[in-house]
Amino acid sequence: MQIFPRSLNLLPLMLGGAATVGGIGLVGAIWYYLSPSHLQVGYEPEQPVPYSHRLHAGELGMDCRYCHSAVERSAKANIPPTQTCMGCHSVVHPESARLAPVRESWETGESIAWVKAHVLPDHTYFDHSVHLAAGVGCVSCHGRIDQMEVVRVDQPIAMQWCLECHRDPGPNLRPRDEITNMEWEPDQAWLSNMAEHVARVNPPEHCSGCHR
């Protein structure tokens, strides 16, 4: 006597097919939603001092290099020391409660514990000075800092994103004297010489370019 109908013979195949499709979908979802585009972009850490880039870089028009003074000659964009802040704020809003941590740092000599927004893995090498010397503007990687009240990650700092630029650097290149100009747009003269600009930089695409 047959207890189960013959149609149940298809059940293992159906379960196997569903598990395969479900597994592929799960891997795809993890691959997509756990990518830097979703995990990094928009990260906006709270800082110990409410420093406004919108005010300083935007409204006041301060050049990025006033605070990040070593960015053109160093691999890292240095965080400004308290002395830089106090160069202005010893006379500008010297009693502001928002600036209390700055004054405390100045008096004690203890550095302000700024929170880093853009964090690269230890196995990755990146040199700010090389990119700026090539004519890559701050806005290409950091976005419109001059419009941000609080700095946030604007681009997915991932290998694929970096390689896309290295393979086609033209859209991110500009004259070296415009690297900190957030509003710069290429004119026809610049675009007409794009092949020359790209040939001048020749960014590496091999592994040792970024992994040393």
pLDDT tens track for 72-127 = 999 998 899 999 999 999 999 999 999 999 999 999 999 999 999 998 888 999 99
Residues 138-157 have a mean pLDDT of 94
Domain spans in the chain, listed from the N-terminal domain onward: 12-38, 52-79+116-209, 80-113
DSSP 136-188: B-HHHHH--GGG-SS----S--SHHHHHHHHHS-GGGB--GGGTT-TT----H
Residue 121 CA to residue 130 CA, distance in Å, equals 19
24-77 pLDDT, tens digit each: 877 766 666 555 655 678 899 999 999 999 999 999 999 999 999 999 999 998
What pLDDT is stored for residue 190 in this prediction? 96
**Structure token digits, residue 6:** 């013959």
Residue 133 CA to residue 83 CA, distance in Å, equals 27
Q: Is 62 in contact with 52 (CB distance < 8 Å)?
A: no
What pLDDT is stored for residue 2 in this prediction? 63
- Positive or negative torsion for Cα 7, 11, 13, 14: positive
What pLDDT is stored for residue 119 in this prediction? 87
Residues 11-28 have a mean pLDDT of 78
Q: Say which residue, 37 or 134, is predicted with more confidence.
A: 134
Q: Say which residue, 17 or 196, is predicted with more confidence.
A: 196
3-state DSSP assignment of residue 21: helix
Q: What is the reported pTM?
A: 0.78
Q: Which residues pair with 136 in a beta bridge?
A: 173
What pLDDT is stored for residue 31 in this prediction? 62
Whole-number percent of the chain with pLDDT over 70:
92
What pLDDT is stored for residue 204 in this prediction? 93
Instruction: Indicate the burial class of 153 (C-beta count within 10 angstroms; 0-12, 13-18, 19 or more).
Output: buried
Instruction: Indicate the burial class of 10 (C-beta count within 10 angstroms; 0-12, 13-18, 19 or more).
Output: exposed
pLDDT of residue 152 exceeding 90, the answer is yes
3-state DSSP assignment of residue 42: coil
164-198 pLDDT, tens digit each: 999 999 999 999 999 999 999 999 999 999 999 99
pLDDT of residue 154 exceeding 90, the answer is yes
What pLDDT is stored for residue 15 in this prediction? 79
Q: Is 177 in contact with 132 (CB distance < 8 Å)?
A: no
